[in-house]
Amino acid sequence: MERSFHSLRTANGWSVGDAAAWFGVSIQKVEQWDAGNGKPDERYLQDLEDTLIYKKNFNRGHPMSDFTFIDLFAGIGGVRRGFEAAGGKCVFTSEWDLYAQKTYRENFPDDDHEIAGDITRIKAEDIPAHDVLLAGFPCQPFSIAGVSKKNALGRAHGFMDKAQGTLFFDVLRILKHHKPAAFMLENVKNLRSHNKGDTFKTILGALRDELGYHVQARVIDGKGYVPQHRERIFIVGFREDVGFDFEACAFPDATSGPVISTILHAPHEEPEDQFTLPPEDALSNVASVVNPKYTLSDKLWKYLFDYAAKHKAKGNGFGFGLCGPNDKARTLSARYYKDGSEILIDQGEGRNPRRLTPRECARLMGFDDDNFTMKIPVSDTRAYKQFGNSVVVPVIKEIARQMKPYVLKSLESEGQVIPGEETVAAE
List, by residue number, the catalytic residues.
139
Q: Is 348 exposed, middle or buried (0-12, 13-18, 19+ CB in 10 A)?
A: exposed
Which 3 state secondary structure label does DSSP give 290?
Answer: strand
DSSP per position, 360-388:
HHHHHTT--BTTB-----S-HHHHHHHHH
List the one residue out of 117, 60, 46, 47 whose CA is nearest residue 89: 60
User: Is 8 in contact with 36 (CB distance < 8 Å)?
Assistant: no
User: Is 328 in contact with 228 (CB distance < 8 Å)?
Assistant: yes
User: Is 354 in contact with 289 (CB distance < 8 Å)?
Assistant: no
Please list, in sequence order, all residues whose beta carbon lies within 8 angstroms of the beta carbon of residue 118, skipping any fewer than 6 positions away: 96
List the one residue out of 389, 396, 394 whose CA is nearest residue 369: 394
Please list, in sequence order, all residues whose beta carbon lies within 8 angstroms of the beta carbon of residue 185, skipping any fewer than 6 positions away: 134, 135, 136, 137, 171, 234, 235, 236
Amino acid type, 219: V
What gap in Å lies between CA 186 and CA 80, rounded to an integer?
12
Which 3 state secondary structure label does DSSP give 51?
Answer: helix
E strand spans, 78-208 = 88-94, 115-116, 132-135, 182-188
Q: Which helix (H) or strand (E) holds 220?
A: strand 214-221
Which 3 state secondary structure label does DSSP give 233?
Answer: strand
Q: How far is CA 11 from CA 26, 108, 327, in A?
A: 20, 27, 42
What angle (nearest 5°) sits at the alpha carbon of residue 102, between those of residues 98 and 105? Answer: 130
What gap in Å lies between CA 116 and CA 113, rounded to an integer?
9
What gap in Å lies between CA 415 and CA 59, rounded to an integer?
11
What angle (nearest 5°) sits at the alpha carbon of residue 239, between those of residues 416 and 251? Answer: 105
E strand spans, 22-168 = 67-72, 88-94, 115-116, 132-135
